Structure 1
Amino acid sequence: MLDFNTIAGVSIPFVGTTLGAAMVFFMKDKIHPLLQKALLGFSSGVMMAASVWSLLIPAMDLSTERGMGKFSFLPAISGLLIGILLLLLCDRLIPHLHLNQTQPEGPKSSLQKTTMMILAVAIHNLPEGMAVGAVFAGLKNAGTEVTLASAFALSVGIAIQNFPEGAIISMPLKSEGISRRKSFLYGTLSGLVEPFGAIAVILLSDFLIPLLPYLLSFAAGAMIYVIVEEIIPEASEGTHSNIATIGFAVGFCVMMILDVALG
């Protein structure tokens, strides 16, 4: 059952993307390269901290409660590796174009550049939506230590991460000659996969609860893949990569504070 708290929780990350995409109405044609690096670093820091504190640690704690003892790491490792492998497969099978790149990845396609840029962000956002869905699904299981506060902490943390991501997708689209309204719309649509992914996991939660440790770590693995494969290389491109490192540290600390203080 999707109650008010659940609907609100899974919607928060999408709101973050929408607000970020709206920056296209207030900022100049392009994001300053240093600001872009800082935002990318911040995003990766938030995602990494969320993967550890909100997903991997709860997955291992839950496995311990279920009597796995010293082998409580097995579901976490299994889910993490499956998440990484699935995103690797998506990267190979879905045509997409990353920020500041001229050559698309995946199979050859006649899709427009704009569409492939949106697909690249959508691939990033799907595991985030699944992560939020998995945590809210955990609320339905009395055997977990997942609380409403910790679930909302993850949603807020990902929303903070999505704010710069929304701007990073809408601003380059405008610089390509697309109108402000369409750039905003495309930036917003790139985040729509998150609530759908979250709701799908929640609706299937009655069947997935026995697999919750695997599901939590799967979402962590998918997010870690995005961090290592896509965000960090983009943030480290060219000079002044130390700005991205500082952004990573700030993002990691912000998400860690949110999870520990609210959870």
Structure 2
Amino acid sequence: MGRLSFLPAFIGFWIGILFLLLLDHLIPHLHVGSEQTEGPKSNLSRTAMMVLAVTLHNIPEGMAVGVMYAGFLAGNTPITAAGALALSIGIAIQNFPEGAIISMPLRAEGESKNRAFWGGVLSGVVEPIGAVLTILAAQLVIPVLPYLLSFAAGAMLYVVVEELIPEMSQGEHSNIGTIFFAVGFSVMMVLDVALG
């Protein structure tokens, strides 16, 4: 595609951003590190909203792993088994504190140790499901692999900015900062490729 080779990455990236933005509005959740709830008004407890937030966060992580393995299985990408395994291990390691974020409030609310533990474990169930579904979809549609990779990147960037930079998630218009962060990122990506 020459100077337009950024197009698949740009399109997939923005589909990932917009997909997570849509989920952000459809699923009521609590932004990590703040008392602000987003999405429709809900009678859910703070802990239930935290479970939804972590589950929402886990969707693109599973997709990222699935896309890596799909790229490796396709054989026509520079993705190696070691690279896919490294990503899987890295995401698995960082899932331990995410599980604790769920288990500890459940235990503090009076749940048994077993129920609190399994609550933390089950919040991550969407990851392997997302990975397997992404692998299956990628095997059927290998030509869209660049879109899937950039979709996962866009979704992860959205989650990272929304959940890990709490100042950008505060106030009435909490998504504007995240969207403009993504705009800046995509402009620099396009300029980098288009201008060589």
What residue in structure 1 maps to residue 109 of structure 2?
Answer: 176
Q: How far does the alpha carbon of each residue in 1:29-81 deviate from its partner, in whole angstroms, 9 at most, with x for none?
A: xxxxxxxxxxxxxxxxxxxxxxxxxxxxxxxxxxxxxxx23322221121111
Q: Does 1:200 align with 2:133?
A: yes
What residue in structure 2 maps to residue 151 of structure 1?
Answer: 84
Correspondent of 1:165 among 94, 98, 107? 98
Aligned counterparts, 1:25-174, within 5 A:
68-174=1-107
What residue in structure 2 maps to residue 233 of structure 1?
Answer: 166
TM-score normalised per structure 2:
0.78
Say what the alpha-carbon RMSD is for the aligned residues: 2.1
For residues 162 and 46 of structure 2, the distance between their equivalents in structure 1, rounded to whole angstroms, comes to 21
Whether contact under 8 Å (2:72, 2:81) holds in the other structure is yes
Whether contact under 8 Å (2:31, 2:166) holds in the other structure is no
The alpha carbon displacement at 1:103 in A equals 4.4
Describe the shift of the 1:113–1:75 C-alpha distance in structure 2 as closer, same or farther (beyond 3 A). Answer: same
Aligned residues: 169
The alpha carbon displacement at 1:99 in A equals 3.9
List runs of 5+ in structure 1 lacking aligned partners.
1-67, 238-263
Whether contact under 8 Å (2:47, 2:105) holds in the other structure is no
What residue in structure 1 maps to residue 189 of structure 2?
Answer: none
1:216 partner amino acid: L
2:144 partner amino acid: L
Whether contact under 8 Å (2:72, 2:79) holds in the other structure is yes
Q: What secondary structure, in the 3-state scheme, does the structure 2 residue paired with 1:139 have?
A: helix
For residues 153 and 38 of structure 2, the distance between their equivalents in structure 1, rounded to whole angstroms, comes to 23
What residue in structure 1 maps to residue 154 of structure 2?
Answer: 221
Percentage of identical aligned residues: 64
Describe the shift of the 1:215–1:114 C-alpha distance in structure 2 as closer, same or farther (beyond 3 A). Answer: same
The alpha carbon displacement at 1:112 in A equals 4.1
For residues 184 and 128 of structure 1, the distance between their equivalents in structure 2, rounded to whole angstroms, comes to 21
For residues 99 and 138 of structure 2, the distance between their equivalents in structure 1, rounded to whole angstroms, comes to 29
Q: How far does the alpha carbon of each residue in 1:122-154 deviate from its partner, in whole angstroms, 9 at most, with x for none?
A: 100000001101111112222211111111011
List runs of 5+ in structure 2 lacking aligned partners.
171-196
The alpha carbon displacement at 1:213 in A equals 0.4
Q: What secondary structure, in the 3-state scheme, does the structure 2 residue paired with 1:140 have?
A: helix
Q: What secondary structure, in the 3-state scheme, does the structure 1 residue paired with 2:149 have?
A: helix
Bigger mean CA offset, 166-175 vs 221-230? 166-175
